[in-house]
Amino acid sequence: MRDFPSCFGESGVQVADSSSSSTASKTAQNLVTCVYKCQLQGVSCFITVTWTRTLMGQGLSVGIDDSDNRSLCKVDIKPWLFSKRKGYKTLEVDSSIIVDIYWDLTSAKFGSGPEPLEGFYLAVVLNQGMILLLGDLEKEAHKKTDSNSTPLSFDSVFVAKKEHIFGKKFYGAKAKFCDKGLVHDISIECDTTGTNDPCLVIRVDSKSVMQVKRLRWKFRGNHTILVDGLPVEVYWDVHGWLFGNVMGNAVFLFQTCLSADKLWTSSQPISNPSMLSRSCSQRFKGSQSQDLGFSLILYAWKNE
């Protein structure tokens, strides 16, 4: 997980760096990073799964870090066209910890992004005990891994996701804000062309949950919404849309809180274009130690 909190990693975009926006957007549009909190021999660890897509095909990487962000092991499964859709790798963390990673994307179905939607599995097995299972082919995964865990016997929690979304006026994504909650449709609407007073509207499942008028004066800020009865703090920075180049991007952070007393009290405006990225890093790291819940980071790119 060491790459994720820097808002996030080498592919992270500093909002102020408009000169590299075009190159960054081409790379970013085929990258999704997910972080899961698991138990490694009774100690908390974080598994980072990064899905990629290039002209050569689909690829992914799996990394395991301890609670201090120290890398324990990592494997890169490079993009493929006709190979590597199915396989496994064995990693030795130390003499007492063997990690096996199994994947099968032979029949995987994809949407517009690099993350598979169905027809696949990705399993991480520790000493023959499964600690993470992704995908809908659970029976196939257990048969292949020969693990001694049932789908409900291991405890993994989806804690963070970074995604790049694209549009001209409307930008969409999906998110599940709590581990047992529903998957929600998130819609961001903002028309920055042909108007002197653009307005930002965010909807969850087609219901408007926040609206920011006079956006040129309020291009950075934060607001609390409720989703599934939980407070969700929304931070936005649309400086790149309003004052950047044609391919400028905006950054949105959705952070759930388990209780009202853990809500961030900072309501001060973000003072420079890259501050939201730094703020993402600090708050994401804080969520690990305080169990604040789920973080969703969206980079919204304009397609002109």
- Distance between CA atoms of 13 and 10, rounded to whole angstroms? 8
Question: Residue 3 falls within a domain, yes or no?
Answer: no
Beta-sheet strands, E only, within 105-219: 109-110, 116-118, 121-126, 129-135, 157-167, 170-175, 184-190, 200-204, 207-212
Q: Is residue 97 part of a domain?
A: yes
Question: First and final CA of the chain: distance in angstroms?
Answer: 33
**Same domain, yes or no, for 148 and 176?**
no
Give the span between the Cα atoms of 207 and 128, in whole angstroms. Answer: 45
Give the per-residue pLDDT at 29. 60
Cα–Cα distance for residue pair 146/154, rounded to 1 Å: 15
pLDDT in tens, the chain (304 residues): 443 333 333 333 333 333 344 555 555 567 899 999 988 777 788 999 999 988 888 889 999 998 888 888 899 988 776 677 888 899 888 777 889 999 999 999 988 889 999 999 999 998 888 899 999 999 999 888 876 555 444 578 888 999 999 888 999 998 888 767 788 999 999 988 777 788 999 999 999 999 999 999 999 999 999 998 889 999 999 998 988 765 678 999 999 875 433 433 333 333 343 445 444 444 444 444 445 588 999 999 987 6
Helix or strand holding residue 47 (H, E): strand 43-54
Which residues lie below 8 Å from residue 258, measured CB to CB, with a gap of 6+? 230, 291, 292, 293
Do 138 and 33 share a domain, yes or no? yes
Q: Does the residue 117 lie in any domain?
A: yes
Query: Quick one: 151 and 169 in the same domain?
Result: no
Are 175 and 298 part of one and the same domain? yes
Q: Are residues 82 and 100 in the same domain?
A: yes
Q: How many domains does the chain have?
A: 2
Give residues with Cβ within 8 angstroms of 168, minimum separation 6. Answer: 302, 303, 304
Which of 134, 155, 176 terminates a domain? The answer is: 155
Alpha carbon 213 to its chain's center: 28
Domain identity same for 176 and 284: yes
274 assigned to some structural domain: yes
Q: What are phi and psi of 215, to 5 degrees?
A: -65, -30
Q: Where among 121, 155, 189 does a domain terminate?
A: 155
Same domain, residue pair 123 and 41: yes
Under 8 Å CB-to-CB from 82, ≥6 apart: which residues?
none
Please indicate, yes or no, if residue 121 is contained in any of the structural domains.
Answer: yes
What pLDDT was estimated at residue 85? 86
Q: Are residues 126 and 55 in the same domain?
A: yes
Q: Give the pLDDT of residue 18.
A: 37
- Indicate whether 296 and 186 sit together in one domain: yes
Residue 242 domain flag: yes
pLDDT of residue 267: 32
- In a shared domain, residues 200 and 258: yes
Asked whether residue 103 is assigned to any structural domain, the reply reads: yes
Query: Is there a domain that residue 5 lies in?
Result: no
Determine contact, residues 64/92, Cβ cutoff 8 Å: no
Rounded (5°) CA angle 54-55-60: 30
Tell me which of 129, 155, 181 is where a domain ends: 155
243 and 224: one domain?
yes
Domain match, 145 and 236 both: no
| Residue 124, SS3 per DSSP | strand
Give residue 86's domain range.
Answer: 19-155
